[in-house]
Structure 1
Amino acid sequence: MTLEREEHWIPVDGGESLHAWVLRRTDLTQPAPAVTVAHGFGGLAEGGLLRYAESFAEAGFVAVLHDHRSFGLSTGWPRQDIDPWQQIHDWRLVITYLQDLPGVDPDRIGLFGSSYAGGHALVLAGSDPRIKAVVAQIPTISGYEQSKRRLPTPEARKAFQERFVADERARLHGADAHRLLLVSDDPDVPSVFKDPRGIGLEDRFPVEGEMLHFDHKVTLRSSLKAQMYDPGVWIDRISPTPLLMIVGLQDVVTPTDTQLAAFEQAGEPKKLITYDGDHFSAYDDHFKETGGGARDWFVQHLAPTATH
């Protein structure tokens, strides 16, 4: 059994294009169900998710894995600028593009989102009836709640708000958007994440071609938009679309308790998979549980064995 990997450029609003990989088995002879895959806050498509897409393709799906606008080889300016609602709108266009691809059954589309895109997956599954099965892995539930936990003191919260206002004032006068590191374990260096496991993620999943366009920073305003983003409110709107949530029991990035509480609000059919690890170990140490569980969920609800 052999996989083929095709490079695609998906047109989205504003004249931009998303870079994507389409993976499929070479022995498929009939239209197959498809799964569209997207990464989280500041992530690159191949940085941990390529192996998920490959697993789905090996199981008989057409898998599409894209970089969000302004990341990797996708176009968009300013670079590494994260707007959750723009990413959701773009992802809808990816679904439309996927439905029109030769060899895809447009009525059997699955959605896999991880971390920040796990939150996007909740929104899309709760609003787009084209999605027939969804997996939300370590999803963002409440940006406000996560920000309170990540910045536990009033002084820290106040300092971040002051940075947001200073950035806005500078941009009003023509300055470029201020940027900050995605991850740092130095308490004196402002960054989005302080989890040390996140620092080495790119080393565990090197993607040299895309990394040429990536400086491990995002715009400061991306964090402001993240604080205002609460995708968990969509979770009770997903049913009757089958929902799988994958949750790390030591997750401090998208806190475990907020994920478990959200899962309780979801309607049937639903399933919960937990693993005994942190946020970033979903991609490597616990891939057998997370990737295998997601694959089996799509097999159960999208039936790829009927397509070849």
Structure 2
Amino acid sequence: MHAYTVEPLYVKSGQEVLAADFYRPKTEHKPAVILMAHGLAGLRQFKLVQYAKQFAQAGYAVVLFDYRYWGGSTGRPRELVSISSQLDDWRTMIAHLQERKSIDSRRIILWGTALSGGYVLTLASELKNIQAVMVQVPMVDGSELGKLYPIPQLSKALKISSQDYMGGKVGMACKTLPVVSRDDLSFMPTEDSYSGYMSIVHPDYFWSGEIPARVFFNLIRYRPIQEVRKISIPVLFIAAKEDSLMPIASSREAATNIAPYVQYYEWEMKHFDIYHHPWFEKAISTQLEFLHQHIGVSS
């Protein structure tokens, strides 16, 4: 087990500055580095710190960052989710890691969960400077999100999304939708999503629970599953058999498309269970085994 330090890190991305935590294990050799960020509307403190600590103790450097508009990063409107901007933030952080002298920039691993799991699969299909990818309960096909809504609700969500997009063009205040809700229209409309998402929210950090509705239209069109055949690096893929947000059939199809580069697992859990005992411990054990197999730590 390695001792480690945690340092603040700030990286320019376009006109904004991304805030991150840099976990540096105390070792004589330059460590491999794991780049991490959260899924839809998540802050880096929403349960990801527990993963970063485990990886750092195992001897891997970790950079855990907030997207622009979120947490410690700059940008307005606050709590805006932009798929294109968030993918650019990943690319910016990867480019930054390639320049850092304190880590082994030839061994960069991307780690994603839910929406960010989709992001890192997209990036793995296009970039050549990544050594491996780990995803858990990834959002591989946004079109499945649209199928969760009855037609009247879907029409309402698309209308609000369009109004917010057009309003944003002329500087109007954002029209928002809840990330999760017990009763109202929300981005995650399934029965277990409210209690599941709220179980990962950290009460010490500001989080309104609502985001600008304009991203809805892009979310249901975002389909990493269409790109994953281009991946040719090791991928660890953990899916939830009882995932109400991403059908297990979509995860199986995505994994099949990544073969033979994928190590695929599906466990008898729901979407948010992987952040909690006992699934968290199982996920860490599986992820560390994958890392040791494909990356390794110099003693």
TM-score with structure 2 length normalisation?
Answer: 0.93
Q: Percent identity?
A: 26
User: How far apart, in 2, do the equivalents of 1:206 and 1:167 lie?
Assistant: 28
- What's 2:160 paired with? 163
Structure 2: state its 5+ residue gaps: none
Q: CA-to-partner distance for each residue in 1:72-127, whole Å, 9 max, x for gaps?
A: 11111111111112111110111121222232011111110110000001111111
Cα RMSD (Å): 1.7
Question: Residue 17 of structure 2 aligns with which residue?
Answer: 17
How far residue 224 of structure 1 moved from its aligned partner, in angstroms, is 1.8
User: 2:63, 2:178 → 1: CA distance?
Assistant: 28
Q: Taking structure 1 as reference, are residues 270 and 25 closer, same or farther at Cα in structure 2, changes over 3 Å only? A: same
Equivalent residue for 2:93? Answer: 94
CA shift, 1:165, in A, is 3.0
1:276 is displaced (CA, Å) by 1.1
> Retained in 2: the 8 A contact 1:198–1:280?
no
Corresponding residue for residue 172 of structure 2: 175
Superposed displacement of residue 252, structure 1? 1.1
**1:271 alignment counterpart:** 263
- Residue from 222, 228, 231 that aligns with 2:224: 231
Query: 5+ residue gaps in structure 1?
Result: none
Counterpart-to-counterpart distance in 2, 1:207 and 1:236: 40
More relative contact order, 1 or 2 (CA 8 Å, 6+ apart): 1
Q: Any residues of structure 2 matched to 1:182-197 within 5 Å, and which?
A: 182-186=179-183, 189-195=184-190, 196-197=192-193
Distance 1:200 1:298 in 2: 28
Cα distance between partner residues in 2 of 1:292 and 1:176: 45
Instruction: Summarize the alignment of residues 1-308 of structure 1 with structure 2, pairs less than 5 Å apart.
Output: 1-13=2-14, 15-26=15-26, 28-148=27-147, 150-151=148-149, 153-171=150-168, 174-186=171-183, 189-195=184-190, 196-199=192-195, 201-204=197-200, 206=202, 208=204, 211-212=205-206, 214-239=207-232, 241-285=233-277, 286-304=279-297, 306=298, 308=299
Letter of the 1:192 counterpart: F
In structure 2, distance between residues paired with 1:55 and 1:87: 25
- Separation in 1, partners of 2:166, 2:17: 30
Tell me how far 1:200 sits from its aligned partner. Answer: 5.5
Q: Distance in 2 between matches of 1:74 and 1:279?
A: 27
